[in-house]
Amino acid sequence: MAEDGDIISEILARLPVKSLMRFRCVSKSWSALISDPYFTKKHLSYTEMGITENSSRLLYSLDPPQSLDHEALKDLKDHRDGYFANRELDLPVMIPGSSNRYKRIVGCCNGLICILVEQVDFMLWNPCTRYSNVLPRTKFPSYFPKFNSRNVFCGFGYDSATDDYKVIMGTRNCKQIQIFTLKTSSWKVLPLTNALDMSGTAGLLLNGSLHWLAEPQPNAGNRQTILSFDLVEEKFREMIPLPHHDAYFQGMTILRNYLCVFELLVGRDRVNTIWLMKEYGVKQSGTQVIMCSKKVMPQEYRHVFMQPICILENGELLVNDWRAGFLVLYDPKENTFKNVTKTHDQLRCGALVYRETLVSPVTGSVVDI
């Protein structure tokens, strides 16, 4: 009988979350199995290994929340195939006393998405299970009654040592940050030796740390750097110099588990360039992977600012054309562009690829039944 249960568990762990949510109604034993923390972690590990089919989706709008099948992008043949069928997601939580209009994505980890609403309230949301959790408000000094987006940096990630999820928030040139831990459902203050100069950005999660582009610092030769925060040790690491000393980088992203920075060179010819750090933390490993010049771009795409979101297996780059409000696929080999879909809020909220999981935004472990 135990062997039969193991076989059922193994089969269910390979199914998409949507099916598992329905199968909880089959019997009490299945409901208990699907809600078991061990099963949730097994399903998450299978998702990360790609064993679970069609678990990857792209979230590209929050007003209203919209997503599309990330894997299906590779089947887009040409420009005329554009405008993918999207899925409108359910984000039911409304925060009292707030217009709930301005939202931006802080980060994503193990299927949980962290959203900042009206620059005041944080929310954790699992778009697949439709559960959400509005976090207690931070306790920054009273002279920050409502944060300006240009003065706030934040991030969301997973602490593997404590099996916990954390939200980080700080303000520009303030000598403290606040850290929220999901298990305690509370914020704590972490004093800093030096004020940080990171404005209006969300940290990127990689190798157990959050990463931000920092403004030029005198002790770094007046150059931009990457600043990282270790979620286990809860401390900032030394800054990592960027690969190209003559450029000013507009943003940073993670492509294929590598840190990437992108720049827009403006002059007689505008050039969009993406640099990839092949060896984590090593400046010399920075490699220019994509360069797209205005001279060789099709006329209708010459105003595209290449804000990269992800690279597909075939080498195509999904970018945000923030001027027109389109998601666009760029093929660097053929120098061709294909429209994917029209966005509702022109990606002011941000965009990310997330995996469908059972992880709870309330407990960080099992789905709350």
Residue 246 lies in a domain: no
**Which pLDDT value is given to residue 84?**
58
User: What's the mean per-residue pLDDT of the chain?
Assistant: 76
Over 50: is that where the pLDDT of 143 sits? no
- CA-to-CA distance for 43 and 51, rounded, in angstroms? 9
| Over residues 100-128, mean pLDDT | 86
Residue 41 lies in a domain: yes
- Which residue type is seen at 115? I
Band (210; pLDDT cuts 50, 70, 90):
very high
| Residue 340: CA count within 13 A, CB half-sphere | 27
Contacts of 24 (CB under 8 A, 6+ apart): 30, 31, 34, 35, 369
Highest-scoring range by mean pLDDT, 107-121, 239-253, 354-368: 107-121
**Which pLDDT value is given to residue 142?**
44
Contacts of 246 (CB under 8 A, 6+ apart): none
Band (45; pLDDT cuts 50, 70, 90):
confident
Asked whether 12 and 20 are in contact (CB, 8 A), the reply is yes
Residue 208 lies in a domain: no
Residue 331 lies in a domain: no
Asked whether 178 and 187 are in contact (CB, 8 A), the reply is yes
Share of the chain above pLDDT 70, in %: 70
Residue 128 lies in a domain: no
Residue 151 lies in a domain: no
Residue among 286, 213, 207, 223 at smallest CA distance from 251 = 213
Containing domain of residue 22, as a range? Answer: 1-53
Taking the model in full, what pTM does it have?
A: 0.84
Residue 14 lies in a domain: yes
Residue 69 lies in a domain: no
- The pair of three-digit structure tokens given for residue 62, joined into one six-digit string: 């929050």
Overall number of domains in the chain: 1
